[in-house]
């Protein structure tokens, strides 16, 4: 049985996109499969790992947990929109320098969690930085370098 | 050294921080990709009496349904040929593969999987290795005696491998002892829990060639397995590596790849299978659960006279790598100590679970939890400082493993002292329930068959070709080694991991030996390329090749830097020179194993009301040889510690009636950023004779000590000893209650 389709208009990384999507399409599938923005990753599909973290209307969300239709008329920020052309975002530079990306699978979500934090709290304490990424699981780094990178980026931006 | 030893960002870091890295589910194989889905047994042990696929096949949108009937009837396995890819007459664990489907989208594939009807007669099951050894335990493989197995493998009933090691005379050793200690420990199954689930994409072309994009740690073994399972020549199987979202030993064995290939063949369309998180927990290759018994004899001064050790590994429904891991466990069971008299029995036992595998430091944390908990108990009973007891017995250069291999480059004492010194540098905070613990462990790093190519481009840059999948920074370290030899900067070296059609045979990304093996091959190839460069440059410079040095992208005469040519000139000259283009592929194998030591210390505070353990400080000292890239090395250590702490305090796959009951990331608790303490890392660096430019393997050792460290620190804090991992708040509270009751 076909799910009814809905016309949505979403601003993704500054660019307005209009598409017909099934009402039950997740924002994650919309980004990855319909728009080809595969930088956002799926780790569990249940909102537990944070690999699919994106920013919608200024708030950090798990893209697997919300429908694409819920993003209608809103701004969506993904890892692909972080850099300004060739110029990396301070978080990206800090992650690279600190060794905060090992396998790299959690990295896009971690970067977006870091950005959501710095957008509302430009100079977090170590504890606040840890809270900012608490919903994002990483199995490689042990988190220390990620927290360090968020703190470094805060200093730079 | 100029490049080796530098903290350099990883060579592929830009792709990783911009979301451009292509992981398993990001691959575009050409054409519309079908969604594949596995049909798995819901029962841990059941006879299969019928499989009906007709309803699934009739569902619109379904393009292929496959079962055992679509594959040659073979059993495979490296040590025992006891595994069939699809179950035929019997399902041996909840998750055993019955069939697979491919459909136009995931929803249709899921619906088709539900429509496959399987008739089961449920049989009694067993998930504990110890219980599976009992005479009346349900037998997993009734025909085990007829299976092909490696010669000399001691097998009986559910025991698919028994290794015994005897050194000296253990009875005499116990007779010489002043005190004898005997304890039992249990370590449950834990899962690697990489963030990217298992994923495979396959296509089958008109010539009958299968191409598989896999997030695998073992490209060449995967190619061999697919060729074997589908009975195809290796030239007809091409495995292309994707970036891999974490492995930790969990992506060494084939899982969904053969199903993706056979579905693609039948559907004549590309197929992708992405495991759900729940499937990944239940059907991959986690860490073996262990039952352990340690009996140790000591003199009053703490000198160990004998150890008798029994370990039982639950290997799951097939032997898998469990036989090898149980044999390795026997060799490492006594810990990094000199024990003159030993008797070790290690059993690998079938159980009704998924086949356990080589989770980072296989057998390491289980053995160290038992051995190092007992060392702590002994120290307290004898009134000797726990560090002092370990120093008194620590192995040194020239000591032998229980298997008789002589060890060199052992830095156990120095590494332990470094950890102890770092912990003691800060006074213990006041408070009643604060405690400290220490533990030491070793890993043996071999070196496996590996080859790599190094070439000089016409513009003077350098390319490295390997078949090694990089997770932990290996590519960067390989580039650093080549850059060091050829006198160029890291930016001038490009590393490419090619697929199995093009790459020279390379080792697995496993066992901490990737850098040792591949680094060894790259070092040889770079040195040969250097020799060729010197040869070409010597003609131009009218000098002896042996007098030429490489540095700063130039070749110059030793002592006369003005007599120089650039590497770019050499790259171009070589094309006109009789010697031809500069390129070398070199191989290594069977490298001498070296020990790598990890010594950790922690300070914890335990809340006696809630049992909650708060880690106040964590110190990790590690003997790493030459740290080729200290940034990568520290990253490995910090990450390894955190996985080890998860196993210590919160992680366990738990089963009810043979089914895993916490197969999701909410109930299976890995550490989050809020649980993670900062880790103080201390590197002990002495160049290792058997490693490339002195490097030792670094990935496995840091995961091994944390469970023992936590057990010892918790005891120091509140005086209760937990013998069964994980050390949960519930167990601590219960033990404290029992202790109070005993005191009344």
| Residue that finishes a domain, picked among B557, B588, B619 | B588
Residue B553 is part of a domain; what is its CATH number?
3.30.365.10
As for how many domains chain B has, the answer is: 3
Q: Would you state the pLDDT for residue B177?
A: 98
What percentage of chain A reaches a pLDDT higher than 70? 99
Residue B184 covered by a domain: no
- What is the domain range of residue B465? 449-588
Query: Is B744 exposed, middle or buried (CB count within 10 Å of its CB: 0-12, 13-18, 19+)?
Result: exposed
- The closest alpha carbon to B669, from B699, B685, B647, belongs to B647
Ranges of residues in chain B whose predicted pLDDT is under 70? none
- How far apart are the C-alpha atoms of B115 and B107, rounded to whole Å? 13
Residue B1 covered by a domain: no
User: What residues of chain A lie within 8 A of the CB of B28, using their CB?
Assistant: none
Residue B2 covered by a domain: no
| CB B185 within 8 Å of CB B130 | no
Contact B638 A141 (CB under 8 A): yes
User: What residues of chain A lie within 8 A of the CB of B670, using their CB?
Assistant: 137, 139
pLDDT averaged over chain A? 96
Residue B130 covered by a domain: no
- The closest alpha carbon to B86, from B71, B101, B76, belongs to B71
Q: Would you state the pLDDT for residue A102?
A: 96
- Per-residue pLDDT, averaged over A44-64, amounts to 98
Quick check: A1 pLDDT over 70? no
What percentage of chain A reaches a pLDDT higher than 90? 96
DSSP states of A67-107 as a string? BGGGGTTSEEE-GGGTSBTTBPPHHHHHHHHHT--SS-SSH
pLDDT by residue (tens digit) across A81-127?
A: 999 999 999 999 999 999 999 999 999 999 999 999 999 999 999 99
Do residues B501 and B646 both lie within one domain? no
Q: Would you state the pLDDT for residue A157?
A: 75
Do residues A48 and A77 both lie within one domain? yes
Q: Would you state the pLDDT for residue B742?
A: 93
Do residues B437 and B454 both lie within one domain? no
| Residue that finishes a domain, picked among A64, A81, A98 | A81
| CB B554 within 8 Å of CB B567 | yes
**Which H helix or E strand runs over B514?**
helix B514-541
Classify residue A50 as left (phi > 0), alpha (psi -120 to 50) or beta: left
Do residues A104 and A69 both lie within one domain? no
Do residues B563 and B658 both lie within one domain? no
- Give me the residue from A79, A99, A144 closest to B678, CB to CB: A144
Do residues A77 and A9 both lie within one domain? yes
Q: Would you state the pLDDT for residue B744?
A: 85
Q: How many CA atoms lie within 13 A of B233 on its CB side?
A: 4
Contacts (Cβ under 8 Å, ≥6 apart) of A156: A90, A93, A94
- Give me the residue from B22, B641, B674 closest to A142, CB to CB: B641
Q: Would you state the pLDDT for residue B446?
A: 92
Query: Is B454 exposed, middle or buried (CB count within 10 Å of its CB: 0-12, 13-18, 19+)?
Result: buried
Contact A139 B639 (CB under 8 A): yes
| CB B722 within 8 Å of CB B714 | yes
Q: Any chain B CB within 8 A of the CB of A131?
A: yes
Q: Any chain B CB within 8 A of the CB of A153?
A: no
- How far apart are the C-alpha atoms of B199 and B215, rounded to whole Å? 6
Do residues A69 and A98 both lie within one domain? no
Contacts (Cβ under 8 Å, ≥6 apart) of B712: B372, B373, B376, B386, B437, B438, B439
Do residues B368 and B407 both lie within one domain? yes
**What size, in residues, is chain B?**
744
- Calculate how close chain B gets to A72, using CA atoms only, in Å: 24
Residue B89 is part of a domain; what is its CATH number?
3.90.1170.50
Give the alpha-carbon dihedral of A38, A44, A47, A48, to 10 degrees.
-130
Contact B16 A104 (CB under 8 A): yes
Do residues B73 and B200 both lie within one domain? yes
- What interface predicted TM-score (ipTM) does this complex get? 0.98
Do residues A98 and A32 both lie within one domain? no
- How far apart are the C-alpha atoms of B643 and B287, rounded to whole Å? 12
- How far apart are the C-alpha atoms of B301 and A104, rounded to whole Å? 50
Do residues B454 and B330 both lie within one domain? no
CB pairs under 8 A between A and B: 162
Do residues B366 and B258 both lie within one domain? no
- Give me the residue from B10, B23, B193 closest to A139, CB to CB: B193
Contact B666 A82 (CB under 8 A): no
Contact A139 B674 (CB under 8 A): no
Residue B357 covered by a domain: yes
Contact A130 B643 (CB under 8 A): no
Q: Would you state the pLDDT for residue B431?
A: 86
| Residue that finishes a domain, picked among B553, B588, B623 | B588
Contacts (Cβ under 8 Å, ≥6 apart) of A46: A64, A65, B277, B664, B665, B666
b/e burial code for range B406-443 (CB count within 10 A of at least 16 → b): ebebbbbbebbbbbbebbeeeeeeeeebbbbbbbbbbb
- How far apart are the C-alpha atoms of B364 and B347, rounded to whole Å? 16
| Residue that finishes a domain, picked among A62, A81, A100 | A81
Residue B377 covered by a domain: yes
Do residues A39 and A97 both lie within one domain? no
| Residue that finishes a domain, picked among A32, A60, A81 | A81
Residue A112 is part of a domain; what is its CATH number?
1.10.150.120
Do residues A25 and A45 both lie within one domain? yes
DSSP-assigned beta bridge partners for residue B186: B291, B724
Q: How many CA atoms lie within 13 A of B500 on its CB side?
A: 27
Residues of B tagged active-site: 700
| Residue that finishes a domain, picked among B588, B604, B619 | B588
Q: What is the number of other CB atoms lying within 10 angstroms of the CB of residue B579? A: 13
User: What residues of chain A lie within 8 A of the CB of B22, using their CB?
Assistant: 38
Residue B257 covered by a domain: yes
Query: What are the tokens at A115?
Result: 């950005």
Do residues B79 and B110 both lie within one domain? yes
Do residues A75 and A106 both lie within one domain? no
Residue B178 covered by a domain: no
DSSP-assigned beta bridge partners for residue A6: A21
Do residues A50 and A20 both lie within one domain? yes
User: What residues of chain B lie within 8 A of the CB of A38, using their CB?
Assistant: 19, 22, 25-26
Do residues A40 and A58 both lie within one domain? yes
- What is the domain range of residue A108? 90-156
Do residues B315 and B409 both lie within one domain? yes
As for how many domains chain A has, the answer is: 2
Do residues B546 and B595 both lie within one domain? no
Contact A103 B195 (CB under 8 A): yes
Residue A32 is part of a domain; what is its CATH number?
3.10.20.30
Q: What are the backbone dihedrals phi and psi of residue B673, each rounded to the nearest 5 degrees, phi first?
A: -60, -25
Do residues B310 and B334 both lie within one domain? yes
Do residues B335 and B412 both lie within one domain? yes
Q: Label the pairing between strands B554-557 and B117-122.
A: unpaired
- How far apart are the C-alpha atoms of B534 and B547, rounded to whole Å? 9
Own/partner pairs, B390-395, CB within 8 angstroms, 24+ separation: B390/B337, B390/B416, B390/B438, B390/B440, B391/B416, B391/B417, B392/B301, B392/B302, B392/B303, B393/B302, B393/B303, B393/B304, B393/B337, B393/B338, B393/B339, B394/B336, B394/B337, B394/B338, B394/B440, B395/B336, B395/B337, B395/B338, B395/B442, B395/B595
- Give me the residue from A79, A130, A133 closest to B18, CB to CB: A79
pLDDT band at A2 (very low <50, low <70, confident <90, very high): low
Do residues A119 and A56 both lie within one domain? no
- How far apart are the C-alpha atoms of B571 and B582, rounded to whole Å? 7
Do residues A22 and A57 both lie within one domain? yes
pLDDT by residue (tens digit) across B159-195?
A: 999 999 999 999 999 999 999 999 999 999 999 999 9
User: SS3 of A22, please?
Assistant: strand
User: What residues of chain A lie within 8 A of the CB of B13, using their CB?
Assistant: 95-96, 101
């Amino acid at each position: 049985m076909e799910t009814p389709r809905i016309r949505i208009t979403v601003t993704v990384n500054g660019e307005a996109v209009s598409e017909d999507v099934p009402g039950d399409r997740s924002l994650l599938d919309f980004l990855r499969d319909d728009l080809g923005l595969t930088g956002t990753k799926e780790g569990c599909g249940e909102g537990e790992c944070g690999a699919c973290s994106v920013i919608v209307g200024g708030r950090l969300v798990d893209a697997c947990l919300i429908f694409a239709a819920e993003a209608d008329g809103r701004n969506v920020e993904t890892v692909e929109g972080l850099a300004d052309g060739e110029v990396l975002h301070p978080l990206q530079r800090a992650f690279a320098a600190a060794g905060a990306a090992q396998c790299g699978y959690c990295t896009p979500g971690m970067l977006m969690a870091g950005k959501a934090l710095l957008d509302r709290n430009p100079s977090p304490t170590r504890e606040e930085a840890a809270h900012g990424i608490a919903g994002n699981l990483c199995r490689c780094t042990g988190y220390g370098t990620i927290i360090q990178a968020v703190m470094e980026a805060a200093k730079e931006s | 050294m100029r490049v080796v030893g530098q903290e350099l960002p990883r060579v592929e870091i830009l792709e990783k921080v911009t979301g451009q890295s292509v992981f398993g589910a990001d691959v575009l194989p050409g054409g519309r990709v079908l969604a594949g889905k596995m049909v798995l047994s819901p029962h841990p042990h059941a006879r299969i009496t019928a499989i009906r696929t007709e309803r699934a096949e009739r569902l619109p949108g379904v393009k292929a349904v496959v079962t055992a009937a679509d594959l040659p009837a073979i059993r495979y396995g490296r040590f025992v040929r006891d595994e069939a890819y699809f179950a035929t007459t019997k399902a041996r664990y909840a998750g055993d593969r019955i069939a697979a489907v491919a459909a136009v989208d995931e929803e249709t594939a899921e619906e088709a999987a539900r429509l496959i009807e399987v008739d089961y007669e449920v049989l009694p099951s067993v998930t504990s290795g110890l219980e599976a050894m009992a005479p009346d335990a349900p037998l997993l493989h009734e025909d085990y005696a007829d299976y092909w197995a490696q010669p000399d493998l001691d097998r009986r009933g559910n025991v698919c491998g028994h290794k015994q090691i005897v050194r000296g005379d253990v009875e005499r050793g116990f007779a010489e002892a002043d005190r004898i200690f005997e304890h039992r420990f249990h370590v449950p199954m834990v899962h690697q829990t990489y963030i990217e689930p298992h994923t495979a994409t396959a296509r089958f072309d008109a010539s009958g060639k299968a191409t598989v994009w896999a997030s695998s740690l073992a490209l060449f073994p995967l190619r061999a397995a697919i060729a074997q399972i589908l009975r195809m020549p290796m030239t007809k199987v091409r495995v292309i590596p994707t970036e891999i979202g974490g492995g930790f030993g969990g992506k060494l064995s084939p899982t969904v790849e053969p199903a993706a290939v056979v579905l693609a063949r039948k559907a004549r369309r590309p197929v992708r299978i992405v495991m759900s998180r729940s499937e990944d927990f239940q059907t991959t290759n986690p860490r073996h659960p262990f039952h352990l018994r340690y009996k140790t004899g000591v003199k009053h001064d703490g000198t160990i006279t004998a150890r008798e050790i029994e370990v039982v590994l639950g290997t799951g429904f097939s032997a898998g790598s469990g036989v090898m891991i149980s044999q390795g466990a026997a060799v490492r069971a006594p810990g990094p100590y000199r024990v003159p008299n030993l008797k070790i029995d290690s059993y690998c036992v079938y159980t009704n679970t998924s086949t356990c595998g080589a989770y980072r430091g296989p057998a390491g944390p289980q053995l160290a939890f038992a051995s190092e908990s007992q060392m702590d108990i002994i120290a307290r009973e004898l009134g000797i400082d726990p560090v002092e007891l370990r120093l008194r017995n620590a192995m040194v250069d020239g000591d032998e493993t229980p298997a008789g291999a002589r060890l060199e480059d052992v830095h156990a004492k120095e590494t332990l002292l470094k950890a102890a010194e770092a912990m003691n540098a800060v006074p213990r905070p006041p408070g009643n329930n604060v405690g400290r613990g220490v533990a030491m462990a070793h890993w043996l790093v071999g070196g496996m068959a590996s080859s790599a190519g190094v070439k000089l481009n016409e513009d003077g840059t350098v390319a490295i070709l390997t078949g090694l999948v990089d997770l932990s920074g290996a590519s960067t370290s390989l580039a650093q080694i080549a850059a060091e030899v050829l006198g160029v900067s890291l930016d001038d070296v490009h590393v490419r991991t090619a697929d199995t059609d093009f790459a020279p045979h390379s080792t697995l990304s496993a066992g901490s030996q990737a850098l040792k093996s591949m680094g060894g091959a790259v070092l040889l190839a770079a040195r040969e390329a250097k020799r060729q460069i010197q040869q070409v440059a010597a003609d131009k410079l009218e000098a002896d090749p042996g007098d030429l040095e490489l540095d700063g992208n130039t070749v110059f005469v030793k002592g006369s830097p003005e007599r120089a040519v650039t590497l770019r000139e050499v790259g171009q000259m070589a094309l006109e020179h009789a010697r031809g283009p500069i390129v070398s592929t070199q191989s290594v194998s069977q490298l001498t194993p070296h020990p790598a030591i990890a010594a950790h210390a922690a300070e914890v505070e335990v809340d006696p009301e809630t049992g909650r353990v708060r880690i106040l400080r964590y110190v990790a000292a590690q003997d790493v040889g030459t740290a080729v890239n200290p940034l990568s090395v520290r990253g490995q250590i910090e990450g390894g510690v955190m996985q080890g702490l998860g196993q210590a305090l919160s992680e366990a796959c738990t089963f009810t009636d043979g089914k895993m009951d916490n197969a999701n990331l909410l109930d299976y608790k890995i550490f989050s950023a809020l649980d993670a303490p900062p880790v103080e890392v201390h590197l002990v660096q002495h160049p290792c004779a058997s490693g490339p430019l002195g490097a030792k393997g670094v990935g496995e050792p840091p995961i091994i000590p944390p469970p023992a460290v936590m057990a010892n620190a918790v005891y120091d804090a509140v005086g209760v000893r937990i013998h069964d991992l994980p050390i949960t708040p519930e167990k601590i509270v219960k033990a404290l209650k029992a202790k109070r009751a005993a005191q009344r």
